[in-house]
């Protein structure tokens, strides 16, 4: 079967435009299927291409995708169907090429693009899975460069902006900086922002064979430890470990933070929060795990009066991520890491 477009989730699992397709579909996370776009009107028809460019999915396009889950509180949630047959309908859960059924959605987000299932992609009769070309998972992480954990109380609070500023700061000191987005939904666009400012390597869950981190907690932990093991082979001076989505939720952020082999290497924790209540909640939750917050940022700190209030309330420095340099944060990181 001839594909018309290939989404970015296949940047590691290389596909030709001509693929072998089977009518038999195994509904397993990461399995590759082919589907045809049924609409381009009144739907969110964005498609992130292999090179990271955000383009358009047109009606009639035949594209591959991987079966996966999503739990975006402000957008949509979706699951892997129990069964699928040729002709069934799935939806684009993410512009990177994650397919599934809709569980719920925010009407303000718009409708997801419907897709007609055409079959599963196979090689010599064996179904392809995102894990086939993934970085190997690990059950442990004995040694690591220091981790700077970047967390948030909700999506879209400025985590990646903070990560970029941290990368810029340490690159200016001629340090080797790596980046891993350990939780969330596969999305390449964010990664380019970090690469542009000098982080290398830059990895996320799709590199570890998972379309998202909404699945089995043990697998998510092993995937994350695998990414960090791979990064440490390059002997970086520091690793920015960003956790997509919120601290609470179904992306397994809390589960991962409880993983001793990861937590033991976290030397600083930055939290982006929407308001004082969520900042307080973050301190409580992370405190139970023995993870003190180094600095609070995000919308709660964009107003100086509110930032001062949060600092007085929680005893934690607060600083806007709209500040070009973020001097408070960089001073704190320098102190903690001894750089």
C-beta of residue 191 within 8 angstroms of C-beta of residue 46 = no
Q: Give the pair of three-digit tokens for residue 18.
A: 């001509």
C-beta of residue 213 within 8 angstroms of C-beta of residue 207 = no
Rounded to the nearest 10°, the torsion over CA 282, 284, 290, 291 is: 20
H helix intervals, the chain: 159-172, 189-196, 217-232, 253-257, 260-263, 276-288, 304-314, 327-337
Q: Give the pair of three-digit tokens for residue 106.
A: 């925010």
What is the pLDDT, as a whole number, of residue 106?
Answer: 80
CA 283 – CA 313 distance, rounded (Å): 11
What is the pLDDT, as a whole number, of residue 323?
Answer: 78
pLDDT-flagged residues of the chain (< 50): none
Supply the DSSP string of 300-338, one letter for each residue: GGSSHHHHHHHHHHHS--B--TTSSS-HHHHHHHHHHHT
What is the pLDDT, as a whole number, of residue 33?
Answer: 99
C-beta of residue 79 within 8 angstroms of C-beta of residue 100 = yes
Q: Which residues face 55 on adjacent strands?
A: 47
H helix intervals, 107-257: 159-172, 189-196, 217-232, 253-257
H helix intervals, 149-268: 159-172, 189-196, 217-232, 253-257, 260-263
Residue ranges with strand state E in 68-176: 70-71, 76-79, 89-94, 98-105, 114-123, 126-127, 147-152
147-337 belongs to which CATH class?
Answer: alpha beta
What is the pLDDT, as a whole number, of residue 98?
Answer: 97
CA 298 – CA 160 distance, rounded (Å): 11
Burial class (CB in 10 A: 0-12, 13-18, 19+), 287: exposed
CA 297 – CA 164 distance, rounded (Å): 14
C-beta of residue 270 within 8 angstroms of C-beta of residue 150 = yes
Q: Which residues contact 71 (CB under 8 A, 6 or more apart)?
A: 77, 212, 214, 245, 249, 250, 251
Any idea where the domains of the chain sit in the sequence?
8-133, 147-337
CA 291 – CA 331 distance, rounded (Å): 19
The pLDDT tens digits of the residues spanning 37-69 come to: 998 776 788 999 988 889 999 999 999 999 999
CA 135 – CA 230 distance, rounded (Å): 7
Q: Give the pair of three-digit tokens for residue 191.
A: 């990664």
């Amino acid at each position: 079967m001839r594909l018309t477009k290939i989404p970015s989730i296949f940047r590691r699992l290389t596909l030709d435009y001509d693929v072998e397709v089977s009518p038999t579909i195994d509904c397993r996370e990461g399995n590759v299927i082919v589907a045809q776009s049924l609409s381009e009107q009144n739907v969110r028809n964005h498609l992130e291409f292999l090179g990271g460019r955000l383009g358009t999915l047109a009606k009639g396009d035949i594209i591959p995708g991987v079966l996966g889950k999503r739990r975006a509180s402000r957008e949509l949630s979706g699951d892997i169907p129990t069964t699928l047959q040729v002709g069934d309908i799935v939806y684009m859960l993410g512009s990177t090429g994650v397919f599934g059924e809709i569980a719920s959605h925010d009407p303000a987000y718009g409708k997801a693009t419907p897709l007609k299932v055409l079959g599963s992609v196979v090689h010599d009769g064996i179904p392809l899975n995102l894990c086939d070309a993934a970085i190997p998972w690990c059950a442990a992480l004995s040694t690591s460069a220091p981790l700077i954990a970047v967390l948030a109380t909700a999506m879209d609070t400025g985590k990646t902006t903070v990560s970029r500023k941290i990368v810029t700061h340490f690159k200016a000191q001629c340090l080797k900086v790596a980046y891993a987005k350990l939780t969330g939904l596969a999305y390449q666009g964010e990664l380019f922002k970090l690469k542009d400012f000098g982080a290398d390597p830059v990895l996320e869950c799709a590199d570890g064979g998972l379309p998202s981190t909404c699945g089995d907690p043990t697998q998510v932990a092993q995937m994350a430890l695998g990414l960090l093991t791979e990064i440490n082979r390059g002997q970086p001076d520091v690793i920015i470990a960003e956790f997509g989505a919120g601290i609470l939720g179904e992306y397994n952020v809390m589960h991962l933070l409880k993983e001793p082999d990861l937590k033991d290497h976290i030397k600083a924790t930055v939290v982006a929060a929407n308001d004082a209540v969520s900042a307080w909640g973050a301190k409580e939750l992370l405190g139970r795990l023995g993870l003190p917050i180094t600095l609070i940022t995000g919308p709660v700190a964009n107003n100086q009066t509110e930032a001062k209030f949060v600092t007085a309330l929680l005893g934690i420095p607060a600083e806007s991520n709209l500040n070009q340099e973020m001097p408070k944060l960089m001073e704190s990181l320098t102190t903690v890491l001894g750089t």
